[in-house]
Amino acid sequence: MKTGSLRARVIVGTLALLAVVLAAVITTVTLVYRARLDDDLRSRLTAAAVAVDSVGSAGEAKALVPGLALEGIAVDFGGSRASSAAAPLATPSKGGPRKPNAPIRQHGSLLTFRETLADGTTASFTASRASVDRTVRNLLLVELLVAAGALALAGLLVFQVTRAALRPLDTIVETATQIAHGDTKLRLEPRRTDTELGSLAAAFDRMLDGLEAAIEEARASDASTRRFLADASHELRTPIAALQASVETLLREQPERPERDRLEAAVARDTERLGRLVDDLLGLARLEARPLRAPVDLAAVARPLVDEARARAPDAEITLGTNDDTTVQGDPDALERVLRNLIDNALAAVQSAGRVDVRLRRVDGYVQACVADDGPGVPGDQRERIFERFVRLDPSKPGHGLGLAIARRIAQQHHGDLTCDATRGGASFTLSLPTAPGSPRQTTVSPV
C-alpha cells in the first residue's frame, strides 16, 4: 500500500494540471497574437506597394516615402534609398489598387517586397519584424507573470480546500490513536454514511465493534478454558483418588473375599467412570474441529433413539410426533448425540415410569426438536446454569455435568441453540436448528 502524503499528491496534481492548462492557453494566445501581427505587417507592406504602384512613376512616388516610413516601411527606388520627414500616404488611382506581381520574401527579421512601376523603375519595400518580436515578448512576459500569480493563488486555495476536505481523516487518525491508548469505547459516529468519508468512518466503527466483540469473545473463551481446566482437574481428581486407593489396598493388604471382590468392583466402577469422563472431555475438546457435512433428517435420527428408549423403559409412555420434513444441515453423529442426551436425561427424570414426549416441527425457518417429561423439572433460576460445564443439580445421580454443555455447543455449531423451556410441570428442552436449503414448507404434525 502506498503511503505518500494524500494532501501533497492532491495539491501537486491540481497545480500540475493547472500549469498544463495555463501553458496551453499562453502558447495558443501567443501564437495567435504573433500570427495576427505578422499578417498585419504583411498587409501594410502590400498596401504600401499598391499605393506606390498606383502613382505610376518613381518621381511622383517619392512623395509617399515619408508617410510609409511612419508605418515602418522603407522604400528604395532603383537602388537609391529615399525618405523624408512626413507626407500623407497617396491614394490609389481611379482604377483601384492592383495586386503586387511578386511575393513577399523574408530575410531574417526583414520582410522584402519588390515591385516594378509603370515607368520601369524597380521599387523595394522593406519592413522589420523586430517590433512584432518585441511586442510578443512583452505579451509573453505579462502572461507568465499572470500565470505565476494564478498558480500561487491556486496553490494557496487548493491547500486550504484540501486541508478542510481531509480534516475528517485527521479525526480518524486521532480517534485511532486514542483507541490504541486504551479508549476502546470511542467511535467516529458519522452523521452521513452515503459519502466516501462517511462510509469510511462507518466501516471504521464496524471494524472496531467487530474487534471489540472478538476481544470479548477471546477473553470469555480464555476464562471458560481456565474454568474448564480447573473443573476438569477437580472432576478427574475424585475418581483417580478412589481408583488409586482401591488399587493400593489390593496390593498392600491382599484382602480375602468378599472384601477383595468389593475392592475389585470398586476399581472397575471407578475405571468406567473415569473412562466416561475422559470420553466426554475429549468430545468437548473436539467439538471445534468437527465439520458440518450433509443434510440430516432429525426424524430419522430420533426414531431409533425413541425405539431404544421404549425397549429400556417399557413402563414409560414415550411418544414421537413429527412432520413430513425435518431436514437440517449438519453432522448426523453430533446431532444424534444431542437427541440421545436429551432422551436419556428425560428417562432418568421420570424414573422409567413416567411420560416422555419427543416432538419435531418446523417454525419460522427452524426445525425444533422438543423433549419434554413429567419428572420433577428444573428450577427457574437453574435453567441456564445446567448448561455450564460440570454442573449437576442432583450430585447423587450418575454423570459429570458435561452432557448438556456438549449438546448446547453442538447446537451452536449448527447455527442453532438448545434451551430449557419454562413449564408448569416437568422439564422441557428445545433444540432449534436452521432448516436445510431447499427443504419444503411446514406440514401437519402427526404423533407416532
Does residue 108 register a pLDDT over 80?
Answer: no
In percent, the amount of the chain with pLDDT more than 90 equals 20
List, for residues 143-156, the tens digit of each pLDDT value.
Answer: 999 999 999 999 89
Which domains are seen in the chain, by residue range? 6-162 (no CATH), 196-286 (1.10.287.130), 293-447 (3.30.565.10)
The pLDDT, as a whole number, for residue 82 is: 39
* pLDDT single digits (tens) 251-290: 888 888 888 888 888 888 778 777 777 776 676 666 555 5
**92 CB-contact burial (10 Å; exposed 0-12 / middle 13-18 / buried 19+):** middle
Instruction: Report pLDDT for 446.
Output: 37
Higher pLDDT, 84 or 158: 158
Mean pLDDT of 119-140: 85
The residue-averaged pLDDT of 398-413 equals 79
Interacting residues of 162 by C-beta distance below 8 A, sequence separation 6+? 7, 10, 11
pLDDT recorded at residue 373: 92
C-alpha 173/C-alpha 155 separation (Å) is 25
For 295-352, the pLDDT digits (tens) are: 899 999 999 999 999 988 888 899 999 877 889 988 888 899 899 989 988 988 888 7
Q: Which of 11-25, 73-87, 402-416 is the most confident on average? A: 11-25
In this prediction the pTM is 0.46
Whole-number pLDDT of residue 232: 67
